[in-house]
Structure 1
Amino acid sequence: MPVTVGLYGQSQPSCFDRVKMGFIMAFAVDMAAGALFGLFSCLRTGVRREWMGGTGKIMVLRGGTFGTFMAIGIKIHR
């Protein structure tokens, strides 16, 4: 199947590029949400010294989970 070329000689992104971009975008968005929710939950419970460790852990877990599901969804959709 020939690759279609755009107006300026660009080709369309491959399936792997789309999946990678979906994962990265979802990871970044949910990392920001994880930062907010992690910070508020750590401050609410009164953990003052270790809030960075708890917030970082929540951010990575949320970002990785949502990024994985978004990458799977993009692969299924395309």
Structure 2
Amino acid sequence: MAVTLDAQLLEILACPSPDHAPLRVGTPSDPDADALTCTACGRVFPVRDGIPVLLLDEATNPDDTSADGA
């Protein structure tokens, strides 16, 4: 199921890393995933019950090979 966020909200959401880059809906491998991906660092942030979880501890790094990101 694809993320459905208000377009204005998506415009102001940004990665919480120091770069504060914009986010895009989905992941590189699944554009319909319930997630937001940073356009700069590639971190993937989950969207749970329609709410983006923009915490670095909850993000999956693009270079992580484990499923849980630990």
TM-score by length of structure 1 reads: 0.21
Kindly indicate which of the two structures has a greater share of residues assigned to strand: 2
User: Which of 1 and 2 has higher RCO (CA within 8 Å, sep 6+)?
Assistant: 1
Larger Cα-atom Rg: 1
